[in-house]
Amino acid sequence: MLFLALSHAAKVSLTVVIIVLLVLLLLYLGLGTVFFFIALGSKRREDETVPCKDSLFERNADNQVLQNGYKWYDLTYKQKVTIKGRRGDTLHAVEFRNPSNSNNWAIVIHGWTNCKREMSSYAMQYYRRGYNVLIPDLHGHGDSESKYVSMGWLDRLDITDWVRSLVSENPKAKIVLHGVSMGAATTMMTTGEDLPDNVILAVEDCGFTSVYDIFEDQCIRKYHLPPKLVMPAAGIVNRVLNGFSFKKASAVEQLKKSKTPTLFIHGDKDDFVLFENLDKVYNACAAPKEKHVIHGAEHAVSALWYPEEYWAVVDAWLAKNGMDNAALV
């Protein structure tokens, strides 16, 4: 009624204002949607032997550690395994059963845009130490039924489900969680859950503090966009499609509840998940902890560039927590 009472000129002006506001709102939500799908859209690949363009796996294609891992992965007997997740979806992983018949398990957790095969060098190291190895597909990767990436937050529940499945099958199982980059964030977030005592320790390599923090940083340094504009818009889309808040998805807050002894590793030349993340997550951890800096390592390449140092540190952590094995096999 108020609109009808306005003069023709006032009606035109009000209509223009409404249209402009609607256009701005659509642009705002559009920007958030674009950012969401760049960051959290599906990262599945038809051929997992072909690395993502400009990924660390493409840049380090000739790395001998990486090549040895690929060869081991391709030639070692493994099987695809599935379980039913708590949200009703089917969770997918690949499993390496060690001929040693050990009760020791390593759950090796991949990073953003990565795949199971690209975690092969880590899996190989645990396998050679007599461990059984499980490499799950995280949300939006590999065979996952989820369309969207969750940067570890929803994945923490899947990893917990995998843990409980292993323990159900073998109550004597002793489990190590080892994640890199987004997989490291997943590892840290998982340790904040109510885990069985079978989870003996964790290793996180170059993980970030929270989903909000890593995206805010990428907005500024990679995309040169104002995070105060982009993040709320992308957050709305994420709430609708993924069902959680960026700020709630915090490794720091999860670590405050952790009871799992955790080793924190970070390269001091990391320009993706900045080195300053190390102290933030380390200081937040309520569980027994140690940290180690790999000097000269960029993002997620510590184990590829400095394997002797890396695995010596991991071995010491395994031994300290009663998870060492007698010899490499």
Report CA-CA distances (Å) from 173 to 80, 197, 287. 20, 10, 21
Report CA-CA distances (Å) from 315 to 39, 134, 150, 203. 34, 19, 30, 11
In one letter, which amino acid is 261?
P
Upper half-sphere CA count for residue 117 (Cβ side, 13 Å): 17
Strand-pair partners of 92: 82
Angle at 304 between CA 204 and CA 211, to 5 degrees: 35
Work out the pLDDT band at 13, boundaries 50, 70, 90: low
What pLDDT is attached to residue 326? 43
The number of helices, as runs of H, and strands, as runs of E, in the chain is 13, 8
Examine the pLDDT at 327 and tell me if it is beyond 50: no
What are the tens digits of pLDDT across the range 242-299?
999 999 999 999 999 999 999 999 999 999 999 999 999 999 999 999 999 999 999 9
Examine the pLDDT at 211 and tell me if it is beyond 60: yes
What are the tens digits of pLDDT across the range 125-148?
999 999 999 999 999 999 999 999
Q: Decide: residue 193, CB within 10 A, 0-12 exposed, 13-18 middle, 19+ buried.
A: middle
Q: Are strands 289-294 and 262-267 parallel, antiparallel or unpaired?
A: parallel
Percent helix, strand, coil in the chain, to 5, is 45, 15, 40
Work out the pLDDT band at 1, boundaries 50, 70, 90: low
In one letter, which amino acid is 170?
N
**For residue 236, how far is the Cα from the chain centroid?**
21
What average pLDDT does this structure show over 208-223? Answer: 94
Of the ranges 36-40, 64-68, 321-325, the best mean pLDDT one:
64-68
252: which residues sit within 8 A by CB, 6+ positions away?
A: 209, 210, 280, 281, 284
DSSP 188: H
What pLDDT is attached to residue 329? 42
Q: Nearest-CA neighbor of 184 among 271, 111, 272?
A: 111
Work out the pLDDT band at 12, boundaries 50, 70, 90: low
Domains along the sequence of the chain with CATH = 1-39+225-247 (no CATH), 55-210+249-320 (3.40.50.1820)
Cα separation, 143 vs 120, whole angstroms: 17
